[in-house]
Amino acid sequence: MERFSIGDVEVASIVERDGAWRNPLVMYPSAERGLVDEHLRGLPDFVYDAAQDLLVITYQTFVLRTPRHTILIDTCVGEDKPNRGDWLDYPKQPWLDGFAALGLRFEDIDYVFCTHLHVDHCGWNTRLVDGLWVPTFPNAKYIFGRREYEFWAAESEKGADPPGDVWRDSCLPVVEAGQALLVDDDHALDDSIWLTPTPGHTPGHVCVNLRSNGQRAVFTGDLMHHALQCREPDWYSCFCWDTAMSNRSRRMILESVTDTDTLVVPCHFPGTTAGRVVSDGDRFDYRFRGA
Ligand SMILES: [Zn+2]
């Protein structure tokens, strides 16, 4: 479990799943084999399983303890969710154990942020109790981007399945319980936590910014899934909704943090996850924290 501080805020991660997961050429449809191999040689060993030719992908939730609030960012796949497919049917107890290991109870969470509403970012929003989906965190306000929420609501109405189930079992019950705040994509919770719109992976994808005592971090959700995308910012993932928009948003954030002290915290990066971005001509280089 990763832990670090940004000013007065303690950050920890709860890992739901870790390990080799996706072939680079499947993950990045516009990637070239030669460039993949070249870039992987310059990255730490833990980002790639060479024996299986699979990128290593982590599924995790970030916990922020500020002087005033306890906050979650992204809530993985969750438990008991129907129609998720075999590939997401891995054990979920590690997430519950990780949550408890931080000394947390469900009642302790004040805010839940979802960078977007894909299956692996809103799962623990709800859990199944006596056959009903109820918010997992009874005292939390859940921050959903209005644009993102309404897009998936419309998809669900069209009968898209999935993601129909995801919206219906992990988002709608939170709204019905009166615990959701549907916000603009540049919403600010206070002067230390605010959103930046980064559409493309999904229509309402956002990054979550953190500032405390002069230190900065940005939680980038699925703006990028692997450090390869710092070397090649135009390699959109096979899961992106609008590939050109995804590329623009990725470049915009990478340029904004390059050669600064801002810690970048991408949801799916393995190992120490967080890192800093440095310039390298037209490309960027990702330096994992502690690597
Ligand atoms: Zn994801």
**What are the boundaries of each domain within the chain?**
3-288
Tell me what pLDDT residue 291 has: 77
Q: Are 113 and 143 in contact (CB under 8 A)?
A: yes
d(CA 116, ligand 1 centre) in Å:
9
Q: Are strands 59-65 and 54-56 parallel, antiparallel or unpaired?
A: unpaired
d(CA 3, ligand 1 centre) in Å:
21
Rounded CA-CA distance 86/177 in Å is 30
Q: Which CATH architecture has domain 3-288?
A: 4-Layer Sandwich (3.60)
C-alpha dihedral, 115 to 117 to 123 to 127, nearest 10°? 110
Give the closest residue to 229 by CA, choosing from 39, 33, 53, 34.
39
Low-confidence ranges of the chain (pLDDT < 50): none
d(CA 76, ligand 1 centre) in Å:
8
pLDDT tens digits for range 25-38: 999 999 999 999 99
Rounded CA-CA distance 128/169 in Å is 9
pLDDT tens digits for range 213-241: 999 999 999 999 999 999 999 999 999 99
| Half-sphere exposure (Cβ direction) of 189: Cα atoms closer than 13 Å | 23
Q: What is the CA radius of gyration of the chain?
A: 18
50 class by beta-carbon count within 10 Å (0-12 exposed, 13-18 middle, 19+ buried): exposed
Residues at Cβ < 5 Å from ligand 1 ion = 120, 222
d(CA 122, ligand 1 centre) in Å:
10
**What is the b/e burial string over 222-235, where b = at least 16 CB atoms within 10 angstroms of the residue's CB?**
bbbbbbbbbbbbeb
Secondary structure of residue 196 in the 3-state scheme:
strand
Token reading at 180: 């959701």
Give the closest residue to 225 by CA, choosing from 66, 29, 85, 87.
29
pLDDT tens digits for range 166-182: 999 999 999 999 999 99
d(CA 163, ligand 1 centre) in Å:
13
Tell me what pLDDT residue 79 has: 95
Q: Are 61 and 75 in contact (CB under 8 A)?
A: yes
d(CA 222, ligand 1 centre) in Å:
5
**Beta bridge mates, 6:** 9
d(CA 44, ligand 1 centre) in Å:
21
User: Structure pTM?
Assistant: 0.97
Q: Are strands 126-129 and 54-56 parallel, antiparallel or unpaired?
A: unpaired
d(CA 199, ligand 1 centre) in Å:
14
Within 8 A by CB and 6+ apart from 34, the residues are none
Rounded CA-CA distance 275/288 in Å is 4
